[in-house]
Amino acid sequence: MLGSVLADRYEVLGVLGKGALYVVYRARPLVEHREVAVKRASLGRYTSESSRGALADVIVMQALRSPWIIESSAAYLHQTSRILTVEVPIYQFTLTEVRTLYLRQHGSISARVWLRVAHAILNALVYLHNLSRSAGRFRRPQFLDLVVDLTSIDVVRGKEIWDQLQGVKQLCHGDIKPTNVMVNLQEDLLSFQSIVLIDFTSCSLGDSRAYSPAYSLPGRDRRPPIPMDDIWGLRCTLSELATGKPDASIAEVLERLHPQGREEQQTIASIMGCIHRLVRKATDGSHDGTEAAASLLRFF
């Protein structure tokens, strides 16, 4: 693929990664001197549910406005081949790669880094779980206006997703995990420049689709995600960032992070402890987690 052209617009410079639906390329727009990431999905190769997930992903990325959510500046659908091409900014690392980098350079993840990641993900979840309060609401996805055949299955499905999105009061990501958190580091590789959530293929848009997250909330089956599923994904992600495993105890997390001072230690313990209490309420059906992310932000 090196040197080939995608969607008549992008020259391929290399492969950044592969997912269940997308191949992600490092590319350069033919008429501009900049580099971008280009996600490419062949919708015709997937089930109806999977192709719907890919369309939901691009619509959410183009519609939402948040510094904590990855945005797509352009997307194109080839209606004959059903190839979806999505332009997004290049991010350096997944959270999994950040952990590997920090362990190699410093031997462990610092409490400061852990807290910065927790704060960023919580900000993203507060935004998603309270869309009804968001100023400006949504931008209309640009790629829906670039198509010609308005009767094609992908266009019809895309417009249905857009209509659903405009009606929701909250959006659940549905699959919070380290590889769905992207990071840009400063030049010294010690501090964060930006942290964003990616991959909205599992997001809840008021439909009844089943889903299979990387981290399943105890007692939950394959129903559409609720906010508490995102909080559980956050808990497992933070545990994995600190210890390498998603189910570590609070004591194990503290032991690995080496917090500097009593305040850092109390903040980390309070966040993890609060999540455990919220999970207990969620498993007995008394709490769906709608305000959980906002309540956790009080520790920052």
Amino acid of residue 190 = L
Q: What are phi and psi of 253, to 5 degrees?
A: -60, -45
Indicate the pLDDT class of residue 142, thresholds 50, 70 and 90. confident
Evaluate if pTM is beyond 0.85: yes
285 closest CA partner among 230, 217, 234? 217
Lowest mean pLDDT among 129-133, 147-151, 269-273: 147-151
Task: Please compute the mean of the pLDDT values over residues 167-186 and round it to a whole number.
Answer: 93
Please tell me the predicted confidence (pLDDT) of residue 144.
81
DSSP 3-state assignment of 152?
coil
Cα dihedral value 136, 141, 142, 145, nearest 10: -120
Q: Over the stretch 25-76, which tens digit does the pLDDT of each residue have?
A: 999 999 988 999 999 999 988 888 889 899 999 999 999 999 999 999 899 9
SS3 state at 66: coil
Q: Could you tell me if 206 and 167 are in contact, meaning their C-beta atoms sit under 8 angstroms apart? A: yes
As a whole-number percent, the residues of the chain with pLDDT over 70 amount to: 93
CATH 3.30.200.20 range(s) for the chain read 5-90+134-167
Least confident of 44-48, 107-111, 151-155, 198-202: 151-155
Bridge partners of 11, per DSSP, are: 5, 28
The number of CA neighbours under 13 Å toward the Cβ of 85 is: 22
State the amino acid at position 291 in one-letter form. E
Average pLDDT across the chain, whole number: 89
Q: How many CB atoms lie within 10 A of CB 79?
A: 15
What's the pLDDT at 208?
A: 61
Of 14-23, 177-186, 216-225, which range is least confident? 216-225
Per-residue model confidence as pLDDT tens digits over 147-164: 656 568 888 889 999 999
φ, ψ dihedrals at 174, nearest 5°: 95, -15
Which CATH number, 3.30.200.20, 1.10.287.70, 3.30.1490.100, 3.90.76.10, labels domain 5-90+134-167? 3.30.200.20
Question: Domain 93-130+170-299: which topology?
Answer: Transferase(Phosphotransferase); domain 1 (1.10.510)
The pLDDT, as a whole number, for residue 204 is 80
What pLDDT is attached to residue 97?
95
Phi first, then psi, for residue 274 (nearest 5°) are: -65, -40
- Cite the residue boundaries of each domain of the chain with CATH code 1.10.510.10: 93-130+170-299
